[in-house]
């Protein structure tokens, strides 16, 4: 991807770093936000996590060697920041379920009843399964891309996704609205 190579070169050059970073944020901010939001659920919390993601990315520019795509690198940071946020806030599954319930009143949530049901089902999943499901289903990432982000084997990711799908199917078949 020539555009990405150019952006990486600009990020690694001190004189062009500031503008290149602004371009990076513009290019990926929305995708990172929705990735985080599907995991964190609350709009304000997601914004905080996204901000922390880009702060960490900026501070880590010196260490970015271009071995992976910028997208993969940012998703790894965003995923780790999401997990850190959830662990710090010590949300139990019950808290995530309550957050999923609040989505209905959230002005930033524009999903229909089916999407709301899916979010409730996702709130029931363990963190790793939810993360893998979100990356595969919503972000349409390949298992190899997810493997690069999470530093996990493709086989383990396929198993996590399979278990997540089975749990979601079970939830959707057995839930009473």
Q: pLDDT tens across 2-61, in order?
A: 488 888 889 888 899 999 999 999 999 999 999 898 878 788 999 999 999 999 999 998
User: Sign of torsion, CA 30 36 41 43?
Assistant: negative
Contact 128, 97 (CB under 8 A): no
Contact 99, 53 (CB under 8 A): no
Q: What is the pLDDT of residues 98-138, one digit of tens each?
A: 555 554 444 444 455 667 788 788 888 888 898 899 888 88
Would you say residue 68 has pLDDT above 90? no
Please give the Cα distance from 119 to 28 (Å, whole number).
23
Other CB atoms within 10 A of residue 157 CB:
24
| Residue where one domain finishes, among candidates 23, 56, 90 | 90
More confident residue, 156 or 106: 156
> 62 to each of 20, 27, 69, 120, how far by Cα in Å?
14, 20, 15, 40
Q: Quick one: 1 and 85 in the same domain?
A: yes
Q: Quick one: 3 and 22 in the same domain?
A: yes
Please give the Cα distance from 115 to 124 (Å, whole number).
15
pLDDT of residue 59: 92
Q: Read off the pTM.
A: 0.68
Q: Quick one: 50 and 119 in the same domain?
A: no
Please give the Cα distance from 169 to 165 (Å, whole number).
6
Residue range(s) defining the domain that contains residue 137: 92-177
């Amino acid at each position: 991807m020539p555009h990405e190579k150019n952006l990486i070169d600009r990020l690694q050059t001190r004189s062009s770093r500031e503008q290149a970073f602004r371009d990076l944020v513009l290019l990926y901010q929305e995708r990172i936000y929705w990735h985080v939001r599907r995991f964190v659920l609350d709009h304000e919390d997601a914004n905080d996590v996204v901000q922390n993601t880009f702060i960490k990315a900026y501070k880590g520019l010196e260490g970015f060697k271009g071995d992976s795509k910028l997208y993969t690198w940012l998703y790894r940071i965003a995923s780790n920041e999401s997990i850190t946020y959830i662990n710090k806030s010590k949300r139990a599954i019950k808290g995530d379920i309550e957050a999923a319930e609040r989505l209905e009143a959230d002005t930033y949530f524009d999903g229909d009843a089916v999407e709301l049901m899916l979010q409730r089902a996702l709130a029931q999943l363990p963190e790793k399964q939810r993360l893998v499901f979100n990356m595969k289903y919503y972000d349409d990432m390949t298992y190899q891309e997810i493997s690069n982000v999470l530093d996990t084997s493709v086989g383990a990711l396929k198993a996590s996704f399979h278990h997540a799908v089975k749990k979601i199917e079970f939830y959707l078949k057995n839930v009473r609205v």
